């Protein structure tokens, strides 16, 4: 076992609080600081924020970036808000990077592939300058976009002699999901409402980073990236963890982001998100409920389905289990990111991350 990595964690929402609970028992990581943006959490013990009120860690949350940097951690694991709050994310992360502290984050999903042309310069230049100044590295991951549609399909493509097409799909029931989907996806809104992600450029920027990444990985340059968007309107009221979606409103959405090469779709990312397993019955499903699926047509053709579940009796939804894996991917990457040269880190730069210290 290597020497534990000293960790500062920023952001104690759904993902960050679950990762915090895992760090408290992990032999490879030592929690030295917790950063929060909610003033009500300042001064609260990390154990309480992790849902572990029985554990007094002595690590009290703070909103002071300067105080956390002064702890000189090996890395910041950052679970801040989405790219909708890019300015705040960049403020926090760039401060650590300028101080020479590596950052592993789930917040800015367009940074999964920083070379994506849709990334605006004000999102890229400050991080590059901070990494250069501090000699530090910045890695962003997620589940989708992220490992479910980059690591999984790229690994499977490495088992093929020829790939005609690869499709990575998220097939989830959002009934018990408490994340944001109304304005972003239009779920729960009238069908005439245009959600943010229905706008092609925004959809590609927010979710499409792994399409050009996979093209780069297999040595091709895409001719174009296109999108599709479909809505399904519920004929009856549907109860969710966030309230009731009334009949006549959108209760399922399906979109694709398509990498075009030589006139055909060769790399496709697909989302099918439902409120209720019976919603949009003609749209794709997995062989089991709530799965991430990879379909490769080629030589050979390959199908892989991955399910994230809690088996601890807590009753937490599969989507929440996927959120935990999202956060843990960033945490477990810390030792590898520490060993890499300064600058952006993508999945193409990382070695196999097997999860040192997970079996104990």
Please give the Cα distance from 108 to 344 (Å, whole number).
13
248 C-beta neighbours (distance < 10 Å), count: 13
Q: Is the same domain home to 193 and 121?
A: no
321 C-beta neighbours (distance < 10 Å), count: 18
E-assigned strands of 38-101? 75-78
Report the predicted TM-score, pTM, of the whole model to 2 decimal places: 0.94
Return the closest-CA partner of residue 252 out of 269, 276, 270: 276
User: Average pLDDT of the chain?
Assistant: 96
Q: Is the same domain home to 180 and 300?
A: yes
Q: Is the same domain home to 177 and 254?
A: yes
Q: Is the same domain home to 137 and 200?
A: no
* Sequence-distant (≥ 6) Cβ neighbours of residue 48 within 8 angstroms: none
* Sequence-distant (≥ 6) Cβ neighbours of residue 336 within 8 angstroms: 350, 351, 353
pLDDT, tens digit, for every residue of 111-155?
Answer: 999 999 999 999 999 999 999 999 999 999 999 999 999 999 999
The residue-averaged pLDDT of 225-236 equals 98
In a domain, 326, yes or no: no
Q: Which helix (H) or strand (E) holds 252?
A: strand 250-261
Instruction: Please report the pLDDT score of residue 177 as a whole number.
Output: 85
* Chain centre distance of CA 291: 15
Please give the Cα distance from 226 to 237 (Å, whole number).
33
pLDDT, tens digit, for every residue of 148-207?
Answer: 999 999 999 999 999 999 999 999 999 988 888 999 999 999 999 999 999 999 999 999
CATH classification of the domain holding 98: 3.40.50.720
In a domain, 99, yes or no: yes
Instruction: Please report the pLDDT score of residue 84 as a whole number.
Output: 85
Please give the Cα distance from 141 to 328 (Å, whole number).
10
Return the closest-CA partner of residue 326 out of 14, 5, 7: 14
Q: Is the same domain home to 114 and 196?
A: no
Q: Is the same domain home to 199 and 260?
A: yes
In a domain, 128, yes or no: yes
Q: Is the same domain home to 133 and 151?
A: no
In a domain, 323, yes or no: no
276 C-beta neighbours (distance < 10 Å), count: 17
Structure-block tokens of residue 153:
């399909």
Please give the Cα distance from 327 to 80 (Å, whole number).
11
Q: Is the same domain home to 108 and 213?
A: no
Residue 82 has pLDDT above 90, yes or no: no
In a domain, 305, yes or no: yes
Sequential DSSP letters for 77-91? EE----GGGHHHHHH
The count of structural domains within the chain is 2
Please give the Cα distance from 47 to 135 (Å, whole number).
32
In a domain, 185, yes or no: yes
Instruction: Please report the pLDDT score of residue 1 as a whole number.
Output: 55
Per the structure, the complete domain to which residue 304 belongs is given by 147-311
pLDDT, tens digit, for every residue of 35-67?
Answer: 999 999 999 999 999 999 888 999 999 999 999
Q: Is the same domain home to 160 and 263?
A: yes
């Amino acid at each position: 076992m290597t020497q534990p990595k000293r960790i500062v964690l920023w952001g104690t929402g759904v993902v960050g609080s679950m990762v915090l609970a895992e760090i408290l028992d992990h032999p490879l990581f030592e929690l030295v600081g917790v950063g929060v943006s909610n003033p009500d959490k300042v001064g609260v013990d990390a154990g309480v924020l992790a849902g572990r009120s029985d554990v007094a860690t002595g690590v009290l949350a703070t909103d002071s970036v300067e105080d956390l940097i002064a702890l000189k951690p090996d890395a910041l694991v950052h679970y801040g808000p989405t790219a909708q709050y890019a300015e705040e994310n960049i403020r926090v992360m760039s401060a650590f990077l300028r101080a020479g502290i590596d950052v592993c984050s789930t917040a800015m999903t367009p940074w999964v592939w920083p070379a994506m042309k849709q990334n605006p310069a004000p999102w890229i230049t400050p991080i590059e300058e901070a990494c250069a100044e501090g000699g530090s590295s910045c890695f962003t991951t997620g589940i989708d976009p992220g490992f479910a549609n980059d690591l999984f399909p790229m690994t499977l493509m490495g088992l093929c002699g020829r790939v005609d097409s690869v499709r990575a799909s998220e097939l989830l029931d959002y009934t018990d999901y408490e994340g944001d989907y109304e304005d972003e996806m239009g779920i729960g809104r009238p069908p005439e409402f245009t959600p943010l992600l229905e706008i092609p450029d925004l959809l590609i920027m927010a979710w499409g980073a792994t399409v050009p990444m996979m093209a780069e990985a297999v040595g091709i340059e895409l001719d174009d990236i296109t999108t599709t968007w479909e809505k399904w309107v519920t004929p009856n009221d549907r109860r969710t963890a966030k309230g009731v979606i009334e009949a006549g409103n959108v209760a399922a959405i399906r979109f694709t982001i398509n990498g075009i090469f030589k006139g055909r779709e060769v790399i496709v990312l697909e989302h099918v998100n439902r409120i209720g397993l019976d919603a949009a019955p003609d749209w794709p499903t997995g062989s089991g409920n709530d799965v991430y699926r990879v379909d490769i047509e080629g030589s050979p053709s390959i199908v892989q389905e991955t399910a994230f579940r809690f088996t601890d009796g807590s009753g937490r939804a599969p989507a929440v289990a996927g959120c935990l894996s999202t956060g843990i991917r960033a945490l477990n990457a810390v030792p590898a990111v520490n060993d890499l040269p300064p600058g952006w880190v993508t999945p193409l730069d990382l070695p196999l991350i097997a999860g040192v210290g997970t079996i104990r």
